Amino acid sequence: MASSTHSSLATASISAICIIRAVVGGAMLLGPQRSAELFGVPLTSETSVVGRLFGSRDLALGALLWHAHRAAAISQSNILLQLSDSAVSKDATGILRYALYTGLAVDLMDVGGCTVGVFDGSVSERGAAVFGGGAVLLAILAGLGLRSL
């Protein structure tokens, strides 16, 4: 759907991804042991760095997407910018698409990692369901956002 403004489905999907990534990423970054426990993947003090790495990654992806979404929205709502330089609006939407594709690739790798973890016994079924299910949800939202741009 190529339109001059983003659809409400794209806006809702992208906003949901930003919020989910910020909340989960921030929780894992600030309190990895407690957060991971809630998700069904207990971490020890020695392995809490893994939770912090996951948290920083998700927080960074959420921030990237949020900034790209805002830039695209601003460029599309500014009629003077659209009239003077349509390339700016196309570039902003292109960056937004890139941010969505980046998150989608990470989410698909997370699903694969959870699947392998279940088969080799390194991830509990609950952990795989929470993290893998979350990754599937984010991938679906990214697909909806991309399709609606």
Write out pLDDT tens, residues 97-124: 999 999 999 999 999 999 999 999 998 8
- Evaluate whether residue 144 is within a structural domain: yes
* Strand intervals (E) in the chain: none
In a domain, 2, yes or no: no
Instruction: Give me the domain span that covers residue 78.
Output: 8-148
10-14, 35-39, 78-82: which has the highest mean pLDDT? 10-14
Counting Cα atoms < 13 Å in the Cβ hemisphere of 34 gives 5
Task: Answer whether residue 3 is part of any domain.
Answer: no
Most confident of 48-52, 81-85, 124-128: 48-52
Report the alpha-carbon distance of residue 76 to residue 70 in Å, rounded: 10
- Residue 112 belongs to a domain: yes
Query: 113 in a domain, yes or no?
Result: yes
Measured CA distances, 105 to 100, 122, 135 (Å): 9, 22, 10
pTM to 2 decimals?
Answer: 0.86
Domain count for the chain: 1
Evaluate whether residue 1 is within a structural domain: no
Least trusted range by pLDDT, from 11-25, 31-45, 51-65, 132-146: 31-45
| Contact assessment for residue 123 and residue 39, using Cβ atoms and an 8 Å cutoff | no
